[in-house]
Structures are given as C-alpha cells and as structure tokens.
Amino acid sequence: MEQTRWIPHPLLQATARFPEQPALVWERQTWTYRELLQEVGRVIHLLKARGVHAGQVLPIRVRSHPNTVFLAWATSFMGVVWLAIPEPWTDREIRRVLPASLLSSLMDPLGITLPDVDPSPGVLPSSWPLERPWTVVFTSGSTGSPKGVVHSVGNHVFASLGSVLHLGVQPGDRWWLVLPLYHVGGFEILLRCAWTGATVVMAPSYVDAWAPHLGPRDWISLVPTLFHRWVHGTTLPSTLRGVVVGGGALSPADVETARTLPFPVLTSYGMTETTAMVTAARPDQWKADLTTAGVPLPFARIQIQPLHTQDAPGEILVQGPVVAWGLWEEGTLKERNDLLHTGERGILDREGRRLVVGRRGERIRTGGEFVHPEEVEQALLRLPDIQEACVVGLPHPEWGEEVVAVLVGRRRPLEEIRQALRRDLAAYKLPRRVFWWHPPLPRTSTGKLRRRDIRRRLLREYPP
C-alpha cells in the first residue's frame, strides 16, 4: 500500500524552536511565532465556521496585510487550496479566471474579524503531505492571458529549503517582504523565514517605506526596477545580509553600481512555474556572478536544450521537485509532469552558471538571421542618456522582420544611434527604426517589459 509522503509542518517546528522570536512585523505590530500560531488558529476557527473544508479551492483577494499571512498558514493546516487573486485586478479580470461557482466565495482579508478564541497548537495537524496541492498563483501575463500555476506543498518545501540552504539564512535574520504575496517570489519568503526562525517584515513596495529601516541582519528581495530606484534615490545602508534580485536582469549601469556596494547583491532566475528562484548568485562570489543568474539551487536541475546551433543559447529546461504540480484550467486543478520547458533561452558555462538571454518566442528573424531583443537593449542602454529601451520585430516586406527600438531618453538621429552601436553589434542587429516613448515603458508588476503590448501598439499606429 502506497504511503503518503509528509514532512513536519514548518510553522509548528518554528513555534517549538523559537516561540518568542519575532515572526511577523507589520507597521508597529509584532507577532512572535507563538502569537502567530495563535492567530492562525483563530482563522482556522473562522474558516470552519464558514463551511470551508479540506480539498476546497478558496479564492483570496491577496493584500499586503497580516490577515493575508494568517489565511495562508491556515489553509496550509486545513488542506485548503489557496487561490491568490491579485489585489489590483478588476472584477472583469477576476471573472476571466474564476468560475461563477467560486465568485461568491472570494474572501477579502480586510473583511474578516478573527474570533476571540485561543486554540492549543495541539489541535493542528503536525504532518504536511508533500503531494497535496496548496496554492494557485497567476503568472504576471507577460506572454498573454494570466495562467494559474498550481504548487503543491512539496513544491514550496523544496523551493524554500533550497533557497535558505544556498543563502545561509539564520535565526534572528529579517526578510523584508515588499513583493506582493500574490507572486510566488513574495509568498516563498513566508516559508524561508519559518524554516530558519527569521522574521518577515511586511512593507509597501515604494522605496521610502523600507529603505531607511534596513539593518545588518536584513534580507530583501527586489525586482530590477525597485533595485534601480533604491540605489539611485536614497541613502544606502553600510551592511546587509543580502539583496536578492529577480524578475529580470540588471542593466549594465546597475551591475556596475552593484559592484561598488558593501553588501551582496545576488542575481537570480526563476518563474512562477518553478516556485520562485531556481538559480542564484553565490553569496561568497557574488561580484563574479553579477552578470549571470548564478548557480542552480539544491533540488533544481537546469539543462539547456539546443535549438539550432550548438554555440547559440538554447531553451532552459528545469526539472525537480520545485517544478509546479500543475495548472488551474477551466476551474479545475490539473496535474502535469515535472519537466518544464520554460520557453526562455540561456547558456550554461563550465561552472554551471547560467545567463538568461530572453524568451524564445521574442526573438526576431530578419534576413534569415536571429536577433535576441535583450542583446540589442543592453547595448542601447549603454549609450549616454538612454534611460529605457525595448526592441521588437515588425513585419518588413524584404527582411521578414525589421529590428525596431522604442526608447526613453534624449532624442537623437537614427544614424547616430546605429553608428554608436556598430562597435557592439553586427550590422543585422542594428535598429532600422527608432520610436521615442513618453516614460515609462509599460512593464508587468515584476518589472518585465510588456514587449508584446508595445509591439501591438506600434503595429496599430504604424501599420506595415
């Protein structure tokens, strides 16, 4: 008879090991691990009173509020599937992903009042089945309509353990949660801290809310846009445990800025389908890793599948227990295998580091040659007075597609830009047209360029 694989619940373990250690900080309130478990117990009483039961999918309007954290942990104990509805979504966007039967059960953390009970932690199940689906997180939509990705308990366990083993998170550390909890990169911070007895510090994403308060025991996760605003717009601390940057590559200018900082800046790579990051820079060699996405983390196998030529970037494949359990399709949970074709291109060097070049579907084919937009964008951003750059391919009667650059910065003639780029790029990679954009360029909530939206607008306003 097959037995269910399980693991001791991390919140119960943390409460037993670090009962009076701060677990959660929000504004001027602090909860120890003992107090956090009590709040979670109250939420479980509330959910049971409302008829919520094991196996049920519970849609939650995810906000940056302690009640959201209490709900997340409560669903983990109850065997309820947490379906994260991003706070900014409109009603129309919600109806696109939720069947009518679930719309009425959508729960808002700000609309709940916790009952005045104090349950003993002994009533909570101590074992956590690894195969059980736990969360549904929607991708940011950079490739089209939002896709619901289902993560099992095991996905979260191995992803968070791999991160803390690689980074060396310790009891007494603090991790600033400025990313939204409806993104897996934000959600994983809850588990990383629980495993290690660290403290989750919730704060709004705008820089002034957290930058003045960073200290020597602190970690923080940032997307490249937030990192740029932080290092160029405020006084920086003299030391930190580390800054984890994900959701895209740092610009060349920000890489050079990072090299001068007195604390580790750890580049990383991951996606919703891999339960957050699966590679990260090495804390003891972070400066050497800055232009890469680091090395594979424990529990993740990274492979490169050649596409056309052996010396060109191939498709990134990810395998292991961090690959998402399945998908949320048409209101149901659907399991899939653990080999993920990411659709993104990368290369592995001899040491196992990897460099993401870009999504396979975004490359431009012009005159029989392939052009990777990120390569041209990085060259453009090295030019003086260019703040933002997006490169797309537009239909061309002779070349198939032509390389087009959309820029934010000081305007200059096209030929001047092409001449400046010639030292870095082959002739076929040079932009044939340039459009100047009123800042900022459109991006997803994780900082990725909305390349397809920009291309659609150009096609609409400048049809071939």
Q: What is the CATH number of the domain that holds 421?
A: 3.30.300.30
What mean pLDDT comes out for the span 145-152?
Answer: 88
Q: 178-212: per-residue pLDDT in tens?
A: 999 999 999 999 999 999 999 999 999 889 999 99
pLDDT value for 141:
44
Q: Is the pLDDT of residue 362 over 90?
A: no
What mean pLDDT comes out for the span 335-344?
Answer: 86
Give the residue from 296, 328, 359 where a domain finishes: 359
Coil, strand or helix: which one is 185?
A: helix
Residue 247 falls inside a structural domain: yes
Residues 168 and 314 in one domain: yes
Q: Is the pLDDT of residue 404 over 80?
A: yes
Amino acid at 227: F
Q: Please tell me the least confidently modeled range out of 208-212, 323-327, 340-344.
A: 340-344
Residues 304 and 447 in one domain: no
Residues 270 and 387 in one domain: no
Residues 329 and 383 in one domain: no
Highest mean pLDDT among 97-111, 117-131, 433-447: 97-111
Residues 340 and 404 in one domain: no
Better pLDDT: 162 or 356: 162
Amino acid at 280: A
Give the residue from 359, 386, 401 where a domain finishes: 359
Burial of 319 (0-12, 13-18, 19+ CB in 10 A): middle
Per-residue pLDDT band for 425 (boundaries 50, 70, 90) equals: confident
What mean pLDDT comes out for the span 117-129?
Answer: 75
Per-residue pLDDT band for 411 (boundaries 50, 70, 90) equals: very high
What are the structure tokens assigned to 124, written together? Answer: 């909570």
141 contacts 20 by C-beta, under 8 angstroms: no
Give backbone dihedrals phi and psi of 126, rounded to 5 degrees, phi first: -85, -20
Q: 208-261: per-residue pLDDT in tens?
A: 999 999 999 999 999 887 898 899 888 899 999 999 999 877 877 889 999 999
Residues 281 and 402 in one domain: no
According to DSSP, the β-strands at 301-305 and 332-335 are unpaired
**E strand segments, 223-368:** 242-245, 265-271, 276-280, 295-296, 301-305, 314-319, 326-329, 332-335, 339-348, 354-359, 364-366
Residues 354 and 430 in one domain: no
Residues 254 and 306 in one domain: yes
What are the structure tokens assigned to 435, written together? Answer: 């459009």
Residues 341 and 403 in one domain: no
Domain that holds residue 196: 6-359
Residues 336 and 205 in one domain: yes
Residues 378 and 343 in one domain: no
Q: Is the pLDDT of residue 85 over 90?
A: yes
Residue 1 falls inside a structural domain: no
Residues 276 and 410 in one domain: no
According to DSSP, the β-strands at 57-62 and 314-319 are unpaired
Neighbouring residues of 332: CB distance < 8 A, sequence distance ≥ 6? none
Number of domains the chain is built from: 2
**What CATH number does the domain containing 31 carry?**
3.40.50.12780
364 contacts 425 by C-beta, under 8 angstroms: no
What Rg do the C-alpha atoms of the chain give, in angstroms? 23
Coil, strand or helix: which one is 301?
A: strand
Q: Which of 49, 95, 47, 81 is nearest to 67 (CA)?
A: 47
In angstroms, the CA 65 to CA 82 distance is 16
Coil, strand or helix: which one is 269?
A: strand
**E strand segments, 183-338:** 199-202, 218-222, 242-245, 265-271, 276-280, 295-296, 301-305, 314-319, 326-329, 332-335
In angstroms, the CA 398 to CA 87 distance is 46
What helix, strand, coil percent values describe the chain, rounded to 5? 30, 30, 40
pTM given for the model: 0.81
Amino acid at 382: R
Q: Which of 44, 49, 48 is nearest to 73 (CA)?
A: 44
